[in-house]
Structure 1
């Protein structure tokens, strides 16, 4: 005698709904995509209508590419429809496994269409802001002719930003490591050194960088200290940023050194290495590899802080841009500075991400 378990109507409805094609989600995705395409096409028309005579060809090409790119949003919607049709056919034939696979693919493609449409809507909104109020925002912040006109002088001044950042980073790497080592020196004899290192790090991290720049940039010439009072604004800026960011680098170094297991130090000392040699040949090389990603992040912050040196008269990119802005009552030159900082910062950020991913892969392989 075979016993069968009765299946309720609610269970049948639940099973049927689980195998139902996601038509509602597809409809939402299709409407969302069509709305995004319409907004992008309107934005493309606004771009072509606002194009200056000298930039008409370029702007028309950009608008055409944007309009064509928006049509690619239809691809995931079409794929979702194909998978939904396949799911319906599988349901009709009683193949539940194939139906579930097709339904899953249809849902993924529907959500893909929605997520890809969002950046296009952001671009359309950005274009709408630029073209609002008779293109007032675009003329003030993104005037192509004015940006091109000021690019040369701002680019030359931006080279000073790079020079200040590189020179200051040399001070940061050396002084930061010395401060970290001084803070970690063992024994009661090193207590004064530890106290001075902690006081330096806490003090310079507490004072805003612009105050340090101002004090050094104007204080050294007024104090008439031999050599230091004659280094000029450029090297005063380098010194101020180097001293400030060395405090932050010291903490990064310290975290890296402390992350090395104490057994490394014990093994090195048992082999007869002195504490300085243990640091030099065993601990510090490992710590430097570990702190390389956060140190690069600190360098990015140092690069951005070079804009603060304008307070002591260094003609860097931001100073040059504000000169043009005050002369012509247009902030497009400042936008050029922002773009230049973006161009040098984003590659470094991606490099940091790659280094972090590499360290994770190494850790996983060792584990």
Structure 2
């Protein structure tokens, strides 16, 4: 305990000496950490942040359904399903390789042009996130499914369960333990990437911060938006850490979840 307190004090002194007690800190504080501008910009940035939460809430559902479907198709057995597995593999390769911002541009500006219709930025953002993150999440789900020992699947089939019943009642409940930590990490990444929907013309937290910054000639609104995203992510990060530690403890003691 004393060692922890001492190391914390040393770290605080180093931060003060190398950051706070420097000639340029006053200018940085004025440009990025201005309390007056932060309070003034908070209402608009908060309204934009609510839009980000809308996109995130819908995307969690659409990504979950799409990823589960893709993982199920990727794990189909038999040579007759090879074309399906190949198409799903190509999809996951493409959207895991493309940067999300490029996907957002393609969806946000290409899709309305093809359809010759105006699509609300909310649904464009949801579609871009779903296409990208369903590729990542489906691979996590597939890895969890394949981590279940084949004997479990064979035993279920011997009892007369079909493919869907085996997947739902036997495989997925066991795979969920393996999948949860990486799925939480993908969820945290998704929370950050919803901030990029501003390029689709939506007035979200980032765009609202940009508007406020252009009016005040100050970068503090961006810090306000960043703090909101951090506050959103912290509960998920702590929950992921707690579950990972709990899973490790139970596996080490040999008990079942």
Distance 1:289 1:356 in 2: 10
Q: 2:144 aligns with which of 247, 251, 256?
A: 256
Are 2:35 and 1:144 aligned? Answer: yes
In structure 2, the residue matched to 1:120 is 12
C-alpha change, 1:128 and 1:357, in structure 2 (3 Å) is same
Per the normalisation by structure 2, the TM-score is 0.93
Q: 2:178 aligns with which of 259, 274, 290?
A: 290
Q: 2:124 aligns with which of 230, 236, 249?
A: 236
The structural deviation recorded for 1:280 is 1.3
Distance 2:109 2:4 in 1: 57
Name the SS for the 1:325 alignment partner.
helix
In structure 2, the residue matched to 1:164 is 55
In structure 1, the residue matched to 2:90 is 199
RMSD: 1.7
Distance 1:163 1:324 in 2: 22
Q: 2:220 aligns with which of 296, 308, 332?
A: 332
The structural deviation recorded for 1:297 is 0.9
In structure 1, the residue matched to 2:154 is 266
Distance 2:53 2:177 in 1: 24
Distance 2:14 2:232 in 1: 24
C-alpha change, 1:276 and 1:142, in structure 2 (3 Å) is same
Distance 2:196 2:240 in 1: 25
* Aligned structure 1 segments of 4 or more residues deviating by more than 6 angstroms: none
User: How many pairs does the alignment contain?
Assistant: 254
Q: 2:68 aligns with which of 177, 188, 195?
A: 177
C-alpha change, 1:150 and 1:112, in structure 2 (3 Å) is closer
Is the CA contact (8 Å cut-off) linking 1:204 and 1:244 kept in structure 2? yes
Larger relative contact order (CA 8 Å, sep ≥ 6): 2
In structure 2, the residue matched to 1:71 is none
Distance 1:333 1:358 in 2: 38
Is the CA contact (8 Å cut-off) linking 1:171 and 1:243 kept in structure 2? no
Per the normalisation by structure 1, the TM-score is 0.66
The structural deviation recorded for 1:271 is 1.0
The structural deviation recorded for 1:190 is 0.8
The structural deviation recorded for 1:230 is 4.3
Ranges in structure 1 where 5+ consecutive residues have no aligned partner: 1-75, 77-108
